[in-house]
């Protein structure tokens, strides 16, 4: 399978590197030449546009930031769908609204191109060691065709159901993580009010039964949400909005998880 990869950021770059290191025919594209420099010593080829990349690919993986970015690289005269031949596949690794994936799938299907959503979790370090989690949604046979490529940078690859299922699972994961951040920060504030310094309480909790990835993330930044907010606050806010939109469209109860997530977002906007 010939693979095209767009979105060579801190997570996408190691994903693409593992694809080419596994022996796949890889083509990459980026707006800035500097982004492509790490691939200069590899067998990866470079394209001048998403359409040119797609024209020499059977599978195009997208790992750009958000919904508008996905639409931009897929559509238009120089976009992926302008170059991808019938039988090709678009895999959306970005975390976006499920409706965005469905919207793209309708346009892609008109030219016999398949779409799957395959958001990932784990970050750059997990990608480098092949331990990303891929949450896939789409037709089972298409997911299976992509699985060997995904397996170069992920373990496990979980097929969750129809198109959009992967995005729903990823958004719920990020909603709960955000809620956990809110609960953790509230606990640390309570500790301060009771005379326990944040850094000491973080040390205790990360070694105790109440430990979680959220507490570990806060502890890693000195017990404050400040630096974490600057790195991931906007992305978490986007995903919480997506989760609320999905829940409301399904007339599903929002529940306490949204209250805790909102508390975390407020704390990130006004860090201590």
Whole-angstrom Cα distance, residue 225 to residue 187?
13
What SS3 state is found at 244?
helix
Q: Is 45 assigned a catalytic role?
A: no
Residues 58 and 31 sit within 8 Å (Cβ to Cβ) = no
Longest CA–CA span in the chain (Å) reads 65
Q: Distances from the Cα of 126 to the Cαs of 3, 17, 27, 80, 227, in angstroms?
A: 21, 13, 22, 27, 21
Whole-angstrom Cα distance, residue 136 to residue 89?
13
The three-point CA angle 18-22-27 to 5° equals 70
Look at the block and give the residue holding tokens 């993986």. 61
Residues 114 and 108 sit within 8 Å (Cβ to Cβ) = yes
Backbone phi, psi, residue 159, to 5°: -90, 120
Contacts of 90 (CB under 8 A, 6+ apart): 60, 62, 74, 80, 81, 84, 104, 108, 113, 114, 115, 116
Residues 74 and 104 sit within 8 Å (Cβ to Cβ) = yes
Choosing from 45, 170, 213, 238, which is the catalytic residue? 170
Exposure b/e, 105-132, CB count within 10 A at least 16 = b: beebeeeebbbbbbbbbbeeebbbebeb
Active site residues: 170
């Amino acid at each position: 399978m010939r693979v095209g990869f767009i979105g060579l950021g801190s997570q996408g770059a190691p994903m693409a590197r593992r694809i080419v290191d596994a022996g796949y025919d890889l083509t990459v594209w980026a707006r800035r030449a500097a982004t492509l420099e790490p691939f200069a010593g590899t067998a990866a080829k470079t394209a001048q546009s998403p359409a040119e990349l797609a024209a020499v690919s059977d599978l195009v993986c997208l790992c750009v930031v958000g919904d508008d970015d996905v639409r931009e690289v897929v559509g238009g005269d120089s976009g992926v769908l302008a170059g991808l031949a019938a039988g090709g596949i678009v895999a959306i690794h970005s975390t976006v609204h499920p409706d965005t994936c469905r919207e793209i799938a309708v346009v892609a299907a008109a030219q016999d191109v398949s779409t799957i959503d395959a958001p990932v979790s784990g970050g750059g370090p997990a990608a480098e060691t092949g331990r990303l989690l891929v949450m896939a949604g789409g037709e089972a046979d298409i997911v299976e065709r992509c699985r060997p490529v995904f397996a170069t940078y992920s373990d496990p690859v979980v097929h969750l159901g129809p198109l959009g299922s992967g995005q729903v699972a990823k958004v719920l994961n990020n909603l709960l993580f955000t809620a956990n951040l809110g609960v953790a920060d509230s606990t640390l504030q309570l500790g301060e009010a009771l005379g326990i310094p944040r850094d000491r309480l973080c040390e205790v909790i990360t070694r105790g039964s109440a430990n979680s990835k959220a507490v570990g993330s806060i502890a890693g930044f000195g017990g404050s949400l400040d630096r974490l907010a600057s790195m991931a606050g906007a992305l978490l806010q986007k995903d919480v909005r997506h989760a609320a939109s999905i829940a409301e469209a399904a007339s599903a109860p929002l529940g306490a998880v949204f209250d805790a997530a909102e508390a975390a977002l407020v704390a990130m906007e006004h860090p201590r």
